[in-house]
Amino acid sequence: MLLMYPSITVLHPVESDLTTLPPAVMQGLADAIPGAKHVSIPGAAHICNIQNPSGFNAALGGFLRGLPK
């Protein structure tokens, strides 16, 4: 559905220890959306904002700071 809205800015956080989908597939999802950013959250296997809150917050904060004002 997001692919229909290319003007949406998207952060695609992914757990670095995720084993259900290969990293290339996860990167491909982000690559399919113009302007999307893919980040890997270290030390997380499924719920990155809970398993590594500081890593998630750093990734989200960096993403938000990089948005045009």
Residue with tokens 């993403």: 63
Query: Would you state the pLDDT for residue 17?
Result: 67
Output b/e per residue, 13-32; b: 16+ Cβ within 10 A.
bbbeebeeeeeeebeebbee
Query: Would you state the pLDDT for residue 55?
Result: 92
Q: Where are the domains of the chain?
A: 2-65
Query: Would you state the pLDDT for residue 14?
Result: 73
Q: Please say whether the beta carbons of 26 and 18 come within 8 A.
A: yes
Q: Please say whether the beta carbons of 2 and 8 come within 8 A.
A: yes
Phi, psi of 15 (to 5 degrees): -70, 130
Listed as ranges, residues in the chain with pLDDT below 70 are 1-8, 15-19
Query: Would you state the pLDDT for residue 57?
Result: 95
